[in-house]
Amino acid sequence: MNCVSLPGPSGNDYLINLIDSPGHVDFSSEVSTAVRLCDGAIVIVDAVEGVCPQTQVVLRQAWLENIRPVLVINKIDRLIVELKFTPQEAYTHLQKILGQVNAVTGSLFTSKVLEERAEKESENQGTPENSSGEQVYDWSAGLEETDDSHLYFSPDQGNVVFASAIDGWGFRYFTLFSTISSLHTI
């Protein structure tokens, strides 16, 4: 565990404890403990490997503890240096990774909404039955009315960072474009 004290923009100081939990599935209990101690989380996904089973476990643990993590897609340099991706191929690959992470997040959200709806219906009158006496479920009911726009990872929302830890750089969507626009006086 590492600790750093950072001065905030309003003159307030912030104490940040960084807990680097192992990424291997054998250390799930350590990750679970670390998540319970935190107010935030950084989930790091390898740009080449994409979403692994442990990534899904970490996202689920963060979800269960009501922590909204920041997604860091690391090792972006490998897409260029090792895989020799064109810009379009790299973009498509990164979109695929975002889609995988958001699919996990979406399934967690859907499960929660359906569980809440089932609890609500069981409190009210029980499960509806059809004419033959079988139980009938409407699995889509409740999802349309629920706002899920804040759940997903998107560079537009500022909750995705693209990085290369080995080269010591990282950027968010807006940082990149503000830098480019200032260089070209746009």
What does the pLDDT look like over 163-172, one tens digit per residue? 999 999 888 8
What does the pLDDT look like over 9-36, one tens digit per residue? 777 777 777 777 666 666 677 777 878 8
| 71, two tokens | 């997604």
CA atoms within 13 A on the CB side of 69: 22
pTM listed for this prediction: 0.76
Residue ranges and CATH numbers for the domains of the chain are 45-122+159-183 (3.40.50.300)
